[in-house]
Amino acid sequence: MRIVIASGIYPPEVGGPALYAKGVKESLERAGHEAPVVLFGSLRGYPSGIRHFLYAIKLWRAASGADAIFAFDTYSVGVPAVLVGMLRGVPVVIRIGGDFVWESYIERTKDLVPLPNFYRVPRDLNRKERIAFKLVTWMLRHAQLAFNTPWLREIWQEPYKIDPSRTHIVENVIGERFDRASVTNRSLLLYGRQIALKNTGAFRSAFQKVRTDGVNFDLEEGMVPHVELIEKIRACYAVAIPSISEVAPNSVIDAIRCGVPFLLTKYSGYAEKYKDMGIIIDPLSQADMARGIREIADPVIHARLCANIVAYADLRTYDHVAREMLAIIQK
């Protein structure tokens, strides 16, 4: 089969869609399929709308003779992918692991509303966000939808009026485990994009309060390619994900693979699933984030979390993801 991979980013760029586009492409090719990747590339310099149109043209050309399109984003590549799929008569599977409208609203307004609460009341969306919401709603009605968690599917069910028969759960990869490196310091890793929803300012304040109270930790921040990030996680004491919301953060999976406990926002599709391997915190409460830092600094609690991670043996590869996405179009 010829499966076109639509993604806005690709390694060495950092982000979940980049990793999944590369991983699924390689898995499909190992299985004997063609899997060309279509990226935004230089189109990012164009205004929104124009770049979507130009990307649709790129995708139209690549989709000639295709059996399916796998899109690893909703608004940026998902909308053009559905348009091309309809015109070409090619089925489209959208991998859904985030919410563009919510992220855009948070970054613009700095109104730190958790994702589960976002659609419960009307929001003062700007023109771009209103258009994005309408286009995503249209897209969802004309594609097969591979959500990475039931948590996000439930949040989207009502506001986007999703047809349940179009929805599927294709969970994230949990790869081979890494050996734990020698921990030479008590560093708490706070790595990721510098955007409002990551909640880094409030977390820093909570961290400084804990340091003042005598907890001996170093807070390490930054953003590096994934290979380098894995090495940092292997050598750290714990990983912090204090975002206002995170659907299915790869940082949690990477921490588990490295045998490292984590602090995780309670507004996450992983908060319940992996609660025995990390400390769940309220990102809207500095006091609760401080409580989480103190708990994970406790050697007894830290050792218990590490033991739970070691006992967790689930393994899930990009081959699983690729097979499940292929199964969606083969039904």
Band of residue 184 on the pLDDT scale cut at 50, 70, 90: low
Is 182 among the domain residues?
no
Give the tokens for residue 87: 């015109």
- Separation CA 278–CA 296 (nearest Å): 8
pLDDT exceeding 90 applies to what percent of the chain? 78
Residue 293, C-beta contacts closer than 8 angstroms, at least 6 positions apart: 188, 206, 207, 210, 215, 217, 263
Tell me, yes or no, whether 179 lies in a domain: no
H or E element, residue 28:
helix 16-30
How far from chain centre, in Å, is Cα 324? 18
Whether 180 maps to a domain, the answer reads no
**Residue 105 within a domain:** yes
Is 207 inside any structural domain? yes
Q: Do 11 and 124 fall into the same domain?
A: yes
Q: Is the domain of 27 the same as that of 134?
A: yes
Angle at 39 between CA 33 and CA 44, to 5 degrees: 175
User: Is 206 found in the same domain as 66?
Assistant: no
The answer, yes or no, to whether residue 183 has pLDDT greater than 70, is no
| Any domain includes 45 | yes
What CATH number did the domain enclosing 206 receive?
Answer: 3.40.50.2000
Q: Band of the pLDDT at 182, cuts 50, 70, 90?
A: low
211-266 pLDDT, tens digit per residue, is: 877 777 889 998 888 888 999 999 999 999 999 999 999 999 999 999 999 999 99
> Do residues 153 and 263 both lie within one domain?
no
Both tokens of residue 92?
Answer: 């489209």
The reported pLDDT for the residue numbered 99 is: 95
Residue 8 sits in the same domain as residue 150: yes
Examine residue 89 and state whether it is found in any structural domain, yes or no.
yes
Does residue 44 lie within any of the structural domains? yes
- Do residues 174 and 314 make contact, with C-beta atoms less than 8 angstroms apart? yes
Is residue 144 located within the same domain as residue 235?
Answer: no
Q: Longest Cα pair distance anywhere in the chain, in angstroms? A: 64
pLDDT in tens, 19-60: 889 999 999 999 999 999 999 877 888 888 889 999 999 999
Do 145 and 130 sit in the same domain of this protein?
yes
Segments forming the whole domain that contains residue 26: 3-173+317-330
Nearest-angstrom CA–CA distance, 99 and 246: 10
Q: Are residues 14 and 136 in the same domain?
A: yes
Residues 281 and 166 occupy one common structural domain: no
- Collapsing DSSP states into helix, strand and coil, what is residue 198? helix
Q: Do residues 10 and 137 share a domain? A: yes
User: Within this chain, do residues 209 and 163 fall inside the same structural domain, yes or no?
Assistant: no
Look up the pTM and report it: 0.90
Structural domains of the chain, count: 2
Contact 187, 237 (CB under 8 A): yes
The whole-chain average pLDDT of the chain stands at 92
Q: Are residues 228 and 123 in the same domain?
A: no
**Coil vs helix vs strand at 144:** strand
